[in-house]
Amino acid sequence: MLIYGAMPDFRCLKEKGRIFLDHNATTPLAQCVMDKLLEWAKVWGNPSSIHQTGRAPKALLREARNAVGDFIGSHPLEVAFTSGGSESNNWALKGGYWTQKAKDPRRQEVIVSAVEHPSVMKAAKFLEDQGAKIIKVPVSREGVMDLDFYESALNEKTALVSIMYANNETGHIFPIPSMVKKAHEVGALFHCDGVQALGKVTVNVQSWGVDMASFSAHKCYSLKGCGVLYIRKGLVVESLIHGGGQERRRRAGTENTLGIASFGEVAKNYKDQVSSFYEKVLALRKRLEEGLKEFVDGVEIIGENQKRVPNTVGVILPSGVYGESVLMNLDIEGFSVSTGSACSSGSSEPSATLTAMGFSRQEAERSLRISLGWGSTEEDIQEFIIALAKIIRRLKSL
């Protein structure tokens, strides 16, 4: 059964009997999307068709492109729709690198931060296997990017820089505009993974100054399988997906009209709500952090005093408990959170982001990420703190 989130100015779905505190993984659908899904589904034509049936979906795309462009601070034609954040990141890295190298074969270096999402890290590894040199800018345990290292890494061989706006595990925000200026001084392209920024802070790709930026619809109360690569006017980036002439010949494939329409709808309704989200969620986060410090002995809030998006708290739990055991216990009690670790084929590795930041394997195994959203309430926070403190006491006593 579904009920609405508590904040009346932007309603979203909420599962009854569960407290969802994992909004950096995905977000519930906005009510304004739910209301229109059936209407959009009826517009089933191919937007590339020039006959009547293609006109309505084409109009949907146009409207969504205008709204999303407005939301991210770009011209609509600078918006290229993709299948999500991962595709946008892959396109930016591979396309950006190939484009630069074609212009000047000496440009073979790619700079990323040590804490990027796997869709950036693995795309960079792919380029490394093709002969690129990958340079990773360190980030401290406090969540601070080593800007001296960054500046000394930049040179006339740098093809591309890719740095995220906000980290998905810790919420730390990096100083994109000043980093962009430095990259442009040496003629490098700058891509920013803005997936965890959209909807949480005001996004304006023009004031960031970036050449490309990635966004994902499902991190922002819209449908899954839809994303955006912002490509600055005048920049021609090599395509990743070849075929038809969609997205102004930049990205082939019949468009995900439903996903795109949902992203547009949220963009339209949400654009003026971001600062209100920021304030409400920041107040909740403060309550959460105070509660954690008061009721969970030995908890560490990662980079607490650094600039962060308002909804994210990365913590290292006290010694003697595993993040994953805590997560499972919380799950049984009706709370959804996440650990930093990625589980694949039965083996669970500690978070690459946290170990890159200098946390030991043991510390990283005790990590937990709590990410709030538009539907989060004071009661959610109170209940969560009580449950977490109880679970930790129980696990420690075993």
Ligand X SMILES: Cc1ncc(COP(=O)(O)O)c(C=O)c1O
Instruction: Please give the positions annotated as active site.
Output: 343
Instruction: Give the Cα separation of 124 and 159 in Å (integer).
Output: 12
3-state secondary structure of 370: strand
Q: Does 28 bind ligand X (CB under 6 A)?
A: no
Instruction: Give the Cα separation of 293 and 299 in Å (integer).
Output: 6
Q: x/- contact string, 146-175, with ligand X (CB under 6 A)?
A: ------------------x---x-------
| Dihedral, 73, 78, 83, 84 alpha carbons, nearest 10 | -30
The correct pick among 117, 250, 251, 280 for binding ligand X (CB under 6 A) is 117
Instruction: Give the Cα separation of 144 and 374 in Å (integer).
Output: 27
The correct pick among 100, 196, 269, 311 for binding ligand X (CB under 6 A) is 196
Residue 170 C-alpha from the chain's centroid? 12
Q: Does 84 bind ligand X (CB under 6 A)?
A: yes
Strand partners, 111: 135, 161
Of 100-108, 192-200, 246-254, 355-363: span binding ligand X (CB under 6 A): 192-200
The correct pick among 74, 90, 119, 269 for binding ligand X (CB under 6 A) is 119
Q: Which is nearer to ligand X, 43 or 193 (CB)?
A: 193
Residue list 203-242, contact with ligand X (CB under 6 A): 216, 218, 227
Q: Which is nearer to ligand X, 107 or 218 (CB)?
A: 218
Instruction: Give the Cα separation of 160 and 94 in Å (integer).
Output: 10
Q: Which residues make Cβ contacts (< 8 Å) with residue 361, sequence separation at least 6?
A: 350, 355
The amino acid at residue 128 is E
Q: Which is nearer to ligand X, 218 or 251 (CB)?
A: 218
Of 27-35, 44-52, 191-199, 244-252: span binding ligand X (CB under 6 A): 191-199
Rounded to a whole number, what is the distance in angstroms from the first to the last CA of the chain?
Answer: 36
Residue 168 C-beta: closest distance to ligand X, Å = 3
Of 1-9, 83-91, 96-104, 231-239: span binding ligand X (CB under 6 A): 83-91
Number of residues in contact with ligand X under rule CB under 6 A: 14
The alpha carbons of the chain give a radius of gyration, in whole angstroms, of 21
Of 30-38, 59-67, 193-201, 257-265: span binding ligand X (CB under 6 A): 193-201
Q: Which is nearer to ligand X, 87 or 300 (CB)?
A: 87
Q: Does 339 bind ligand X (CB under 6 A)?
A: no
Cα-based distances in Å from 139 to 29, 111, 134, 143, 146: 33, 13, 16, 6, 6
Question: Residue numbers of the site for ligand X (CB under 6 A)?
Answer: 84-86, 89, 117, 119, 164, 168, 193, 195-196, 216, 218, 227
